[in-house]
Chain A
Amino acid sequence: MSTVETENSTSSAPTAADTPPEPGTGTATRGAAIGDASVAGGARSGAVARAAGAGHRDRSDASPGAARAVLRLVGSELGLTFRRPRNIAMLILLACVPVVIGVALKAFGSDEETPAIVTQVAGNGLMLTFLSLSMLVQLLLPLAVGVVAGDSIAGEANAGTLRYLLTAPAGRTRLLAVKAVNIGVFGLAACAVVAVSGLITGLVMFPVGPVTLLSGTTVPIMDGVLRVLIVTGYSAVGMAALGLVGLAVSTLTEVPIGAVAATVVTVVFSQVIGAIPQLGPVRPYLLTTWWSSFDGALRDPIATDVMGQGLLVFAAYALVFGAIAWGRFSGRDITS
């Protein structure tokens, strides 16, 4: 990581602490870096420039500037994530699912066999949001988050832009934190897109009124909307925990598709383990078990114990895998 070293020598001490010098391929890497610098990809070069700018600001003034610098880096990352065509396509697809469910229910109605939660949608549009989330939270949402998370570091490394990103004296820890925030925001956006799409479809297609909870209690519509918010927030935290797993995997490889696949396979594997009755004792330790516990918000009183436990599991996963990502990324040789 000779380019960083060069930058360090001309810049500030705190950055040097964040990016320790690395032994080895000094001249070769430097040569390659200089060669690549002119052709660094369009969007990313902008980000590098911003990160570099952030670094300069960091040096000139103290903490408020540093905060602003991080915010600018986050903004740049979010801009990249939400402008990327595949991410937009995934969000559009997620938004379509509630619409498809709504249209199918409206067109074909329901018979005796359909579960009550489905038939309830026909009676109350608000239920469409919960139904959509309960269907998507097991696979499609984790898939979308896994793509963004798996791509986060490995994608940069694969495109050869990671070096330039680190050229800016922003620091590896800070870059990792920004990536994590980016994944979390995308997860929240994905859940919110499903919730909003479900709400709008429900409002347009079905009557909306007081909501019947799973406990048989009927609550006013505003209470129902509040519960939509709780459910969305809970799901987003669950997705963020998966995002950190993906981030940790992403620091281990330079092949983004490998990181994405590994993240998604982790999800599927957990679900298979969770479905085997003989492995019941393992279930409470799996991330996937707790995603669907958002239905605790649909009980009366709200099952705070179950959901609180779910949040603790999410936090534990985030802590462990965040630490793994940091341990790997902060001490890794960046060769591409």
Chain B
Amino acid sequence: MQSTWRRARAVRWAVPVAAFVVVGAAVGAGPVIAAVQGDPALPDRTAAQLLAEVAKTAQHQQPPAMSGTVVETASLGLPSLPLPSGTSSSPLSLLSGSHTLKVWYGGDGRLRLALPGQMSETDVISDGKGSAWLWESATNTVTRFTLPEGVKGDKGKEAEAAHTALPTATTPQDLADRLLKAADESTAVTVENGQHIAGRAAYQLVLTPKDSTSLVDRVTLALDGETYIPLRVQIFAKGAAEPAFEVGFTQVSFSAPAPENFAFTPPAGAKVKEQKPEAAKPGEPWSKDGAAGHAAPGAEAARAGARTHGSGWGTVAEVPFSLADLSKQQNGPRGGGDPAQMIESVLKSAKQVSGTWGSGKVITTKLVSVLLTDDGRLFAGAVTPEALVQAAGRK
């Protein structure tokens, strides 16, 4: 009797255990099923074949209408930024942590990007008829960009242009285009077959820098096996197993999204700002927030005296920069956090260096090093701090 009872109790406890196992299996099985389902039916390609294929597709075909969810993960090793709470949908927040972005692309320059936050959302909408909108629900503001005739209807460039200023570019297309341009003799390019991203079979281009001063170990670019749309970009820092930066689709659909996604009427009660075409270039409004995190706040003033050293992966950018300029800019942070406070917290982790050229402070992250010299110059690049010091020595 006693033992029967004990056995019965053991059987009863098996039920919660089974429930737990079932839930655990359901959580774990998703990626496995996705990996097993789509057989790697893609023919093998060399890097050159693949790039040619991509170029051909890009030349002769409009990118297909699509929609999907993009997840961006950045662990750049930045000192944690003192972000004000409640700005989870601010573009600056893209610099650290993981973020989800919704993308709708309807062809003919119609594009919508939505960055959802807690009870807030930031949207970029391009209607393909010459206007683009930036809607920020947290501040209830609409910014309207009127686009020059020439750009209209061309691959949604207008909305992308508003985005290029963002150091952490947001769509895989955008980032891939720029990376491919950088690939030349300085880079070893290989192709991996059999990748599955967002349930699609994909080719993966692996770009490995040959420059030993580069902090980048390799960059991978996954291309959809059918449409050659970039599905994922990962940047690995030297000596790290996990990517320092990753942006990729977690869900993608190549069917035309509903047209109402691309229409926007400023809601009643919202503040509406107009931006002329020239002001819509990098610098407004994204870079004001976005660049602050990368210590280039005096962007307009700095552009004048900017120059670069080296080439390829080892390129070092030099801009005139001083902390005094920065404090002038303090006013009007526009809900994006106090830049001075942010720089201060970043500088806490800085290391003092010196050379024949003088002395300065070096900030190192996983992918980018920044050297601030005491004589008011700023060097930045995806290179080791030593390379920056060398560049500073070269007049």
CB neighbours (8 Å) of A85 from chain B are: none
Indicate if A5 sits at the interface (CB-CB under 8 A).
Answer: no
Residue B16 is within 8 A (CB to CB) of chain A in the complex: yes
A87 at the interface (CB under 8 A from B): no
Q: A115-B86, A116-B139, A299-B121 are in contact. Are A319 and B268 (CB under 8 A)?
A: no
| B116 in contact (CB, < 8 A) | yes
- Contacts A22-B5, A218-B265, A299-B114; is A330 near B12 (CB within 8 Å)? yes
The chain B residue sitting closest to A330, CB to CB, is B12
Q: How large is the interface on A (under 10, 10 to 19, 20 to 34, 35 or more residues)?
A: 35 or more
Distance in Å from the Cβ of B100 to the closest Cβ of chain A? 8
Scan residues 51-70 of chain A and give those whose CB is less than 8 A from a CB of chain B.
none
| A295 lies within 8 A of B16 (CB) | no
Residues of B97-136 contacting chain A, CB below 8 A: 97-98, 114, 116, 118-121, 123, 133, 135
Which residues from chain A contact B137 at a C-beta distance below 8 Å?
116-117, 214-216
**Count of A-B residue pairs with CB < 8 Å:** 111
CB of A89 closer than 8 Å to a CB of B: no
B121 touches A212 (CB 8 A): no
Given A116-B140, A280-B98, A295-B119, CB of A216 within 8 Å of CB of B12: no
Residue A212 contacts which of B26, B133, B268 (CB distance < 8 angstroms)? B268
CB neighbours of B69 from chain A (8 A): 305
> A95 to B15, alpha carbons, bound, how many Å?
39
A117 touches B19 (CB 8 A): no
Please determine whether B267 and A20 come into contact, CB atoms closer than 8 angstroms: no
B-side contacts of A301, CB under 8 Å: 258, 261
Residues from chain A with Cβ under 8 Å of B116 in the complex: 214, 295-296, 299, 303, 306
Verify A215–B114 contact, CB threshold 8 A: yes
In the bound complex, what is the Cα–Cα distance between A304 and B267 (angstroms)? 23
**Interface readout for A119-161 with B: 1 if CB under 8 Å, 0 if not?**
1100100000010001000000000000000000000000000
Interface centre among B2, B142, B267 (most CB of A within 10 A): B267
Report the contact-size class of chain B (Cβ under 8 Å from the partner): 35 or more
CB-CB under 8 A for A295 and B118, given A23-B2, A212-B269, A323-B16: yes
B19, B118, B261 — most chain A CB neighbours (10 Å): B19
Residues of B within 8 A of A295 (CB): 116, 118-119
Render B1-43 as a binary contact track against A, CB cut-off 8 A, 1 for contact.
1100100110011111011101100110000000000000000
Q: Are A119 and B140 in contact (CB under 8 A)?
A: yes
Chain A residues, CB < 8 A from B270? 212, 216
**CB proximity to B under 8 Å, residues A2-46:** 20-23
Report how far A255 CA is from B22 CA in the complex, Å: 31
Judge whether B269 and A120 touch: CB under 8 Å: yes
Q: Is the CB of A292 closer than 8 A to any CB of chain B? A: yes
B138 near A: Cβ within 8 Å? yes
Instruction: Decide if B135 touches A331 in the complex (CB within 8 Å).
Output: no
- Distance of B306 from chain A, by nearest CB (Å): 33
Residue of A whose beta carbon sits closest to that of B133: A216
| A292, chain B: closest CB distance, angstroms | 6
Interfacial chain A residues near B260, Cβ < 8 Å: 217, 300
Asked if B142 and A214 make an inter-chain contact with CB atoms under 8 angstroms apart, the answer reads no
B212 at the interface (CB under 8 A from A): no
Residues on the B chain within 8 Å of A220, using CB: none
Instruction: Please measure, in the bound complex, the distance between the C-alpha atom of A142 and the C-alpha atom of B267, giving whole angstroms.
Output: 34
Within 8 A of A (CB), among B236-267: 251, 258, 260-261, 264-267
Q: A315: nearest residue on chain B (CB-CB)?
A: B23
Cα distance A134–B142 in the bound complex, in angstroms: 24
Q: Which of B5, B86, B97, B264 contacts A277 (CB 8 A)?
A: B97
Q: Which residues of A contact B139 (CB under 8 A)?
A: 116
In the bound complex, residues from chain B placing their C-beta under 8 Å from that of A330 are 12
Q: 9 closest pairs, A vs B, by CB? A: A116-B140, A323-B19, A323-B16, A216-B135, A212-B267, A331-B9, A214-B121, A324-B16, A316-B23
Chain B residues within 8 Å of A, Cβ to Cβ: 1-2, 5, 8-9, 12-16, 18-20, 22-23, 26-27, 69, 80, 86, 96-98, 114, 116, 118-121, 123, 133, 135, 137-140, 142, 251, 258, 260-261, 264-270
Pull 21 A–B residue pairs with CB atoms less than 8 Å apart, ordered by A.
A20-B8, A115-B119, A116-B137, A117-B119, A130-B119, A212-B268, A215-B135, A280-B97, A295-B116, A298-B119, A299-B114, A301-B261, A305-B69, A319-B19, A319-B22, A322-B19, A324-B16, A326-B16, A327-B13, A327-B15, A331-B8
